[in-house]
């Protein structure tokens, strides 16, 4: 992970300028205002503790009039293990540049994950799982995530575990359908399921019952 020096950063957008000047101190403020993030430095400044993990590296070939072209396609997840996660992919002729492109793409796709304690058999009030059942789709793959009591761990395939762990989720039940061996679709379906957590409307009273401390 590259070290980021905010003093050396010269913002190119008004949002970037507001972040550098300290007018905006949380990425939640940006999400709430629905502002587009056009500079990676904004993510680096507001979420400095992001971790990166390569999920898949695949060789992609295609025919061109000048001959066969070979690229590497890389899928990367980033997260701070505390409610923020992103998923991205990148293509390049070499693995290194493909990884860097994928990391940048994942940062631009950062989302806030609503966590809680939605399992009726647990009710510990901690944000160790998700507050309610959600489903995500990508291609033929369908991933359903369900709240789990503390101690269960991440009952999902390795690709899903990586994304959920980086999001800060410790316990989960899951159901999957389709060609889950297709890594990119499995990853996207899991990520899309996490997106649904913020799209489902709930009252403050319900969120409190589910152990969600922030809406």
List the CATH number of the domain containing 72. 3.30.160.20
Structure confidence by residue, pLDDT tens digits, 122-143: 767 788 999 999 999 999 999 9
Of 174, 116, 186, nearest to 146 by C-alpha is 174
pTM above 0.85, yes or no: yes
On whether residue 123 sits in a domain, the answer given is no
Same domain flag for 148 and 188 = yes
On whether residue 199 sits in a domain, the answer given is yes
Of 166, 171, 183, 184, nearest to 51 by C-alpha is 166
Between 52-56, 99-103, 140-144, 198-202, the lowest mean confidence (pLDDT) is in 198-202
Same domain flag for 56 and 35 = no
User: What's the chain's average pLDDT?
Assistant: 90
Question: CATH number of the domain that 202 lies in?
Answer: 3.30.230.10
Cα of first residue to Cα of last residue in the chain, in angstroms, is 30
d(CA 18, CA 33): 13
Q: Which of 112, 142, 158 is the last residue of a domain?
A: 112
Of 4, 101, 103, nearest to 47 by C-alpha is 4
| Number of folded domains that form the chain | 3
Domain interval for residue 78: 51-112
On whether residue 124 sits in a domain, the answer given is no
Same domain flag for 38 and 62 = no
d(CA 169, CA 116): 9
On whether residue 190 sits in a domain, the answer given is yes
Same domain flag for 181 and 198 = yes
Same domain flag for 139 and 195 = yes
Structure confidence by residue, pLDDT tens digits, 84-136: 999 999 999 999 999 999 999 999 999 999 998 877 777 677 889 999 999 99
Report helix, strand or coil for 16: helix
On whether residue 126 sits in a domain, the answer given is no
On whether residue 143 sits in a domain, the answer given is yes
Same domain flag for 176 and 198 = yes
Residue with the two structure tokens 């991440």: 154
Same domain flag for 191 and 166 = yes
Give the H/E segment covering residue 137: strand 134-138
Higher local confidence (pLDDT), 193 or 116: 193
Residue 128: how many other CB atoms lie within 10 Å: 23
């Amino acid at each position: 992970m590259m070290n980021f020096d905010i003093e050396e950063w010269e913002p190119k957008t008004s949002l970037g300028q507001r972040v550098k000047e300290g007018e905006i101190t949380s990425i939640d403020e940006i999400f709430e205002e629905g502002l587009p993030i056009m500079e990676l430095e904004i993510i680096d400044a507001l979420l400095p503790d992001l971790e990166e993990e390569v999920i898949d590296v695949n060789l992609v070939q295609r025919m061109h009039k000048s001959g066969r072209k070979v690229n590497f396609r890389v899928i990367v997840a980033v997260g701070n293990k505390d409610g923020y996660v992103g998923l991205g992919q990148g293509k390049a002729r070499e693995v290194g540049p493909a990884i860097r492109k994928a990391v940048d793409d994942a940062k631009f796709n950062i989302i806030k994950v609503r966590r809680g304690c939605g399992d009726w058999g647990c009710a510990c009030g901690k944000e160790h799982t998700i507050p309610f059942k959600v489903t995500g789709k990508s291609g033929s793959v369908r991933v359903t995530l369900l709240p789990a009591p503390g101690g269960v761990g991440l009952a999902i395939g390795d690709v899903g575990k990586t994304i959920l762990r980086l999001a800060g989720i410790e316990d989960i039940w899951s159901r999957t359908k389709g060609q889950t061996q297709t890594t990119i679709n499995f990853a996207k379906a899991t990520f899309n399921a996490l997106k649904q957590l913020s799209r489902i409307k709930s009252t403050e009273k319900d969120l409190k019952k589910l152990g969600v401390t922030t809406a």
